[in-house]
């Protein structure tokens, strides 16, 4: 089930909220059951995988802190060893499940291609929804437990609820247990929380449905014509369109999660902080998908030694983090390339011009605004040949003549001009600041109501509607 669907908005959510409010004593049970239904509707088989993962992970945490009843010699030493064993095993297990479902075909295919024959079978498994997110969340919990940074470890119900809770199950943010631990054990939902949560949710819904989905059709239109024979300006337009699409899609989803969290009495951390207004790529990554960035920093970069073990080691650590960040986003070479590009640019920034860029008012913005769309193109196009063609088009290189030229450009601009302006405005902090300033005014309430119903209209008329295609 997606947040932006009629089934969620008008069936699941109202029924769930009513039951949730009716039984304040059993909130975790209600939330867990609701989340499993939410997940199970779309993934009737993988919900079992999710449950199994939760149980196994919980078992490992118990094992990690298991205290034998009878006295033992060198008890502390044994306990430390057991903890280490448990944490290594559980992380390996979690990652191997992720690997089998997400990366096996990619790895096997690459090895087969390198070897020139097919000795590794391809599994062609479907990817369980949200597996990258919940696996990382479980690993963060295990490591936090191992390190002892969690004061009271979760019981089975709390743990299962924490992993499965539907606001952040399928697309993050990656919430750390410490951030919600207090609320897991008992939470109050005030009437203001419902109001503010629903407002936030509506805002996110609008970002996803009215901005991301709409601008996405422009990118689709340009890609439909085909990469490789685009006029440079068309290619840039496409790159910007995709940058907006991915940002508003993801940001919208995160804001919806925050809103839902609020309605349920949680405070889910912010995931985006106007990344497109950054002045360097390092800053961009401090503001883009913040929970993933801090996950990699906390659990990979710093344990590897961070930047404290000399320059060579720092570069090496950065490379590992960025290659993994790339791979986390998808199992294909273009994602690895995408990660590596960030690695190169960010290490370059750190060594040379980064500080300077972040100080300058204009240059830093120009630099990020031009470079980030290029990185998104690498992210978007999985086929290496096409990717090379598109990147060539961006700088005006064409192997064959231009097919999509100024005529189409004018048509695209006419059709999408207003939307592009709206996207640019929403990429700045202005609308959000105004929202926080005026959020309780009556006209904001009316605007939000308009956004809500306009989004619903788009959802019903769009792909969710089997009756009206009218898209070709």
Partner 1 sequence: MNRNKIRTFLEIIYNCPFVLLVIFTSVVFLIFFDGTEGREDGKNVAALRMIEEKSPAKENDITDKEEQKEDSSIVEEVQKPKEQGEKDVKNAGTRKENTIGIKKDLKCKTDNKSAEISGKQEKEKKHATEFVEYTPIETDSRYYSDAGKIALTTVYDYVLENESYFNDAAFLGDSRTLGISDYAGLEGADFFCDNGMTIYKLLEDDGVTYQKTGEKVDMKEILQEKHYGKIYIMLGMNELGYGDTPMYLRQYLKVIRQIKEWQPGVIIYVMANLHVSQEKNNMETEFNNININDKNVASARLANGSDVFYLDCNPLFTDEEGYLLAELTFDGVHLYAQHYDKWRDFLFAHGVEREEIQQTEGSGQTETSGVPGDS
Residues that bind partner 1 (CB under 8 A): 6, 10, 14, 191-192, 194-195, 198-199, 202, 220, 223-226, 228-229, 400, 403-404, 407-408, 411, 414, 442, 445, 448-449, 452-453, 456, 460, 465-472
Query: Considering beta carbons, is residue 292 or 409 the nearer one to partner 1?
Result: 409
Contacts of 462 (CB under 8 A, 6+ apart): 213
CB 163, CB 54: distance < 8 Å: yes
> C-beta of 400: minimal distance to partner 1 in Å?
7
Query: Considering beta carbons, is residue 6 or 92 the nearer one to partner 1?
Result: 6
> C-beta of 308: minimal distance to partner 1 in Å?
46
Q: Which two tokens stand for residue 250?
A: 């993801």
Q: Measured between alpha carbons, how far is 391 from 232 in angstroms, rounded to an integer?
A: 10
Contacts of 410 (CB under 8 A, 6+ apart): none
> C-beta of 26: minimal distance to partner 1 in Å?
23
* Range 169-180 burial, b when 16+ CB lie within 10 A, else e: bbbbbbbbbeeb
Q: Measured between alpha carbons, how far is 201 from 381 in angstroms, rounded to an integer?
A: 31
Q: Measured between alpha carbons, how far is 54 from 165 in angstroms, rounded to an integer?
A: 12
Query: 252 vs 13, 199, 272, 334, 376, CA distance in Å?
Result: 17, 13, 10, 25, 18
Query: Considering beta carbons, is residue 164 or 394 the nearer one to partner 1?
Result: 394
Rg (CA), the chain: 24
Quickly list DSSP for 234-249: HHHHHHHHHHHHHHHH
Q: To the nearest 5 percent, what fractions of the chain are helix, strand and coil?
A: 75, 0, 25
> C-beta of 215: minimal distance to partner 1 in Å?
16
Residue 289 annotated among the catalytic residues of the structure = no
Query: Considering beta carbons, is residue 278 or 455 the nearer one to partner 1?
Result: 455
Q: Measured between alpha carbons, how far is 56 from 62 in angstroms, rounded to an integer?
A: 10
> C-beta of 403: minimal distance to partner 1 in Å?
4
**274, 329, 365, 398: the active-site residue:** 329
> C-beta of 237: minimal distance to partner 1 in Å?
15
Q: Measured between alpha carbons, how far is 15 from 379 in angstroms, rounded to an integer?
A: 38
> C-beta of 110: minimal distance to partner 1 in Å?
20
> C-beta of 295: minimal distance to partner 1 in Å?
33
> C-beta of 16: minimal distance to partner 1 in Å?
14
Query: Considering beta carbons, is residue 70 or 469 the nearer one to partner 1?
Result: 469
**Cα 188 from chain centre:** 28
Neighbours of 110 (CB within 10 A): 15
Contacts of 275 (CB under 8 A, 6+ apart): 247, 284, 287, 288
First-to-last CA distance in the chain? 26
Quickly list DSSP for 356-414: HHHH-SSHHHHHHHHHHHHHHHHHH---HHHHHHHHHHHTT--SS--SB-HHHHHHHHH
Query: 199 vs 196, 212, 259, 390, CA distance in Å?
Result: 5, 19, 7, 40
**Torsion angle, CA of 318/323/327/333, rounded to 10 degrees?**
160
Which residues are marked as active site? 329
């Amino acid at each position: 089930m997606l947040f932006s669907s009629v089934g969620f908005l008008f069936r699941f959510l109202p029924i769930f909220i009513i039951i949730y409010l009716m039984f304040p004593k059993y909130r975790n049970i209600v939330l867990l059951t609701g989340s499993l239904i939410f997940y199970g509707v779309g993934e009737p088989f993988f919900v079992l995988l999710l449950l199994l993962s939760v149980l196994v992970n919980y078992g490992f945490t118990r094992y990690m802190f298991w205290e034998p009843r009878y006295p033992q010699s060198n008890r502390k030493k044994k306990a430390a060893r057991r903890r280490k064993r448990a944490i290594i095993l559980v992380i390996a297990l979690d990652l191997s499940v992720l690997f089998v479902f997400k990366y096996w075909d990619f790895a096997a295919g690459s090895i087969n291609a390198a070897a020139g024959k097919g000795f590794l079978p391809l599994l062609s498994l479907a990817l369980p929804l949200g597996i990258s997110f919940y696996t990382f969340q479980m690993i963060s919990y295990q490591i936090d437990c191992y390190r002892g940074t969690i004061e009271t470890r979760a019981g089975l119900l709390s743990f299962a609820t924490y992993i499965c809770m539907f606001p952040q199950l399928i697309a993050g943010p990656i919430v750390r247990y410490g951030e919600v631990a207090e609320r897991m054990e008992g939470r109050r939902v005030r009437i203001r929380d419902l109001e503010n949560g629903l407002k936030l949710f509506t805002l996110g819904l609008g970002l996803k449905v009215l901005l991301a989905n709409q601008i996405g059709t422009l990118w689709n239109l340009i890609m439909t014509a085909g990469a490789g024979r685009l006029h440079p300006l068309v290619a840039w337009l496409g790159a910007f369109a995709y940058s907006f699409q991915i940002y508003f899609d993801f940001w919208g989803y995160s804001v919806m999660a925050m809103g839902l969290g609020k309605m349920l009495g949680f405070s889910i951390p912010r995931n985006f902080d106007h990344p497109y207004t950054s002045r360097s790529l390092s800053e961009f990554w401090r503001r883009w998908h913040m929970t993933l960035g801090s996950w990699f920093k906390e659990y990979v970069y710093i344990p590897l030694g961070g930047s404290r073990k000399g320059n060579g080691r720092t570069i090496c650590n950065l490379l590992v983090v960025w290659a993994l960040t790339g791979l986390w986003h998808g199992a294909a070479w273009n994602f690895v390339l995408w990660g590596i590009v960030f690695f190169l640019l960010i290490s370059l920034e750190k060594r040379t011009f980064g500080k300077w860029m972040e100080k300058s008012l204009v240059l830093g913005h120009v630099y990020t605004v031009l470079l980030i769309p290029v990185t998104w193109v690498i992210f978007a196009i999985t086929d290496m040949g096409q990717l090379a063609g598109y990147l060539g088009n961006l700088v005006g290189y064409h192997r064959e003549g231009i097919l999509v030229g100024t005529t189409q450009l004018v048509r695209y601009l006419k059709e999408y001009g207003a939307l592009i302006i709206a996207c640019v405005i929403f990429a700045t902090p202005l609308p959000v600041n105004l929202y926080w300033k005026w959020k309780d005014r009556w006209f904001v309430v009316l605007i939000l109501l308009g956004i809500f119903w306009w989004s619903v209209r788009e959802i019903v008329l769009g792909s969710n509607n089997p009756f009206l295609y009218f898209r070709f």
